[in-house]
Structure 1
Amino acid sequence: MKIAAQIRKTIESIPEGKPFGYDDLGIGQADFVTAAKALERLQKKGTIKKISKGIFYKPEETRFGPLGPDYNALLNRFLFKKGKRVGYVTGGELYNQLNLTTQNYFRTKIATNRSRKKIEKGWLKTSTVKSYAEITEDNYQLLGVLDSLKDIRNISDTSTSQAIKILAGKLVNFSKSAIEDLIRLSMTYPPRVRALLGAIIEEKFATEFDLSDLKSSLNPTTVYKLNVKEAEFPTIKNWNIR
């Protein structure tokens, strides 16, 4: 089958709105030039639209005009590599998802272990930051919780105390192994995160978890100023949080 015919046949099977690139078309590097010309012809016909260099989609036609690409599918191209998770959404968009803020954000922040750079892919505009730990499908949500604790003082439209209450309420629904993983992962985060996590776990679970390693990882003379009242969270005094 000729390259152009192969491309047309493959594109027919791709759902409308789903972004795709050369890798999705099964095109070898030696045929990229021929493939590029075939894709250019399909663009001129309106069969596909270009999102950015090397990334396209089939527009879904509605009575109001063609729809744009699937945002989540486009985002996933940068969160996964060959089916393996390599990043996760953090920052304002994550805090909105966790009900810590009602503010909407127009730029998505991605935490990743890979190269960090701004991504401008048509509708998708992101900035990237380095993850504090190796990202896996099993731990990325826990890393999101730790990111929230790290930024607790800077989350828009909420007080530090209110944000802590919301996160503490989520932790009580975690499994015991998830809490233990959270403690382990927190060791890669700044001390204030470990202190706050320790105070929350002690408050919600009393002596159910061994927090000795968490406590010993902190400088006993350091005070963490988070503007939290002891009357609201009595255990903060045990972790030098003010």
Structure 2
Amino acid sequence: MNVTKSVNQQIDQMKPGKLFSYQDIFSYAEHSDAVVKAISRNSKKLGLVKIKKGLFYKSEIGRFGPMAPKDNDVINYFTSRKNRTVGYVTGPALYYRWGLTTQIPAEVNIATSTNKREKAELSGLRVSTSPAQHKVTKNNIEILQFLDVLKNIDRIPDADTKEVTNKLSIKLKEYSSKSIKEMEKIAIDNYPERTKAILGFILETYMNHFSDKLRDSLNPTSKYYFSYAYKWEKAQKHWHLIYNKK
């Protein structure tokens, strides 16, 4: 079977609204030039809409003409590769999903294991990707999301740090002891010292769990700003968290 025929068959079998790139075509690795040419020459016939260079979707005709993919389909393209989880929603879109802010995000940020920085816009949905702090799997997404929120806890738009901390403490109580141990390890190996300090503070204050590993991973001479530290002696004594910037 020639490349063009193979490409046409693969696209014919795709569901309408599915996003794909050249690399998603089976024969791309061996016949990249031929795949690109086949898609370029037959895009109209195949009902393809180009989002940006190398990224397309198969259109679906609705009552009012071609329909764009649903937001979830667009996000799924950037978070999954060949049935494998490679990314997750983070940033303002995550804060909104978790009820930490009422501000509706203008863009969906996705952290991925692919280490690629991409941008795409489709029907008003803007998506950007950036490298994740740690390899993403199906089972560690919520752990990474929790740590991402801690990393930016003082920079969540239209949010009070005290309220965010309280909401996170409630969420943390839903995690198993195994997940918390994994969170500690990932934080120690991949996240900034301030994030580790805030995690240690929250675990001690709300979970009655003092993490020697987190404490030992901190530089004993460093201080870390945290606007909610004023209320807790342990925040300053055990975790070097201060509430006045210098």
With 180-189 and 34-43 compared, the bigger mean Cα shift is at 34-43
TM-score normalized with structure 1 length = 0.81
**C-alpha deviations, 1:157-179, integer Å up to 9, x for none?**
11111111111110001111011
Q: Distance in 2 between matches of 1:223 and 1:121?
A: 39
- Give the partner amino acid of 1:108: V
Q: Distance in 1 between matches of 2:218 and 2:54?
A: 48
CA apart distance, 1:220: 4.2
1:208-223 correspondence to structure 2 within 5 Å:
209-223=209-223
CA apart distance, 1:30: 6.1
Q: 1:31 to 1:136 in 2, by over 3 A?
A: closer
Q: Distance in 1 between matches of 2:30 and 2:221?
A: 63
The answer to whether the aligner puts 1:61 opposite 2:42 as a matched pair is no
Q: Distance in 2 between matches of 1:66 and 1:74?
A: 16
CA apart distance, 1:223: 3.8
Q: 1:190 to 1:35 in 2, by over 3 A?
A: closer
The answer to whether the aligner puts 1:77 opposite 2:95 as a matched pair is no
With 29-38 and 73-82 compared, the bigger mean Cα shift is at 29-38
CA apart distance, 1:43: 3.2
1:1-242 correspondence to structure 2 within 5 Å:
1=1, 3-28=3-28, 35-45=35-45, 47-117=47-117, 119-123=118-122, 125-187=126-188, 188-206=190-208, 209-228=209-228, 231=231, 235-237=234-236, 238-241=238-241, 242=243
With 91-100 and 161-170 compared, the bigger mean Cα shift is at 91-100
Q: Is the 8 A contact 1:95 1:148 kept in 2?
A: yes
Q: Distance in 2 between matches of 1:84 and 1:46?
A: 27
With 222-231 and 51-60 compared, the bigger mean Cα shift is at 222-231
Q: 1:191 to 1:25 in 2, by over 3 A?
A: closer
Q: 1:165 to 1:13 in 2, by over 3 A?
A: same
Q: 1:204 to 1:12 in 2, by over 3 A?
A: same
CA apart distance, 1:89: 2.4
CA apart distance, 1:222: 3.9
Q: What percent identity do the matched residue pairs reach?
A: 33
Q: Distance in 2 between matches of 1:36 and 1:74?
A: 21
Q: Distance in 2 between matches of 1:3 and 1:17?
A: 23
- Runs of 4+ in structure 1 displaced over 6 angstroms? none
Q: Distance in 2 between matches of 1:221 and 1:21?
A: 49
* Matched position secondary structure for 1:105: coil
**C-alpha deviations, 1:200-225, integer Å up to 9, x for none?**
1112221xx45112222234454433
With 213-222 and 191-200 compared, the bigger mean Cα shift is at 213-222
Q: How many residues align?
A: 238
Larger relative strand fraction = 2
Q: Distance in 1 between matches of 2:154 and 2:39?
A: 49
The answer for unaligned runs of 5 or more in structure 2 is: none
Q: 1:129 to 1:12 in 2, by over 3 A?
A: closer
The answer for unaligned runs of 5 or more in structure 1 is: none
Q: Is the 8 A contact 1:49 1:58 kept in 2?
A: yes
**C-alpha deviations, 1:6-45, integer Å up to 9, x for none?**
4443323211101123444433566555554543454334
With 125-134 and 7-16 compared, the bigger mean Cα shift is at 125-134
Q: Is the 8 A contact 1:18 1:70 kept in 2?
A: no
**C-alpha deviations, 1:104-123, integer Å up to 9, x for none?**
22333232344443x23342
Q: Distance in 2 between matches of 1:40 and 1:183?
A: 48
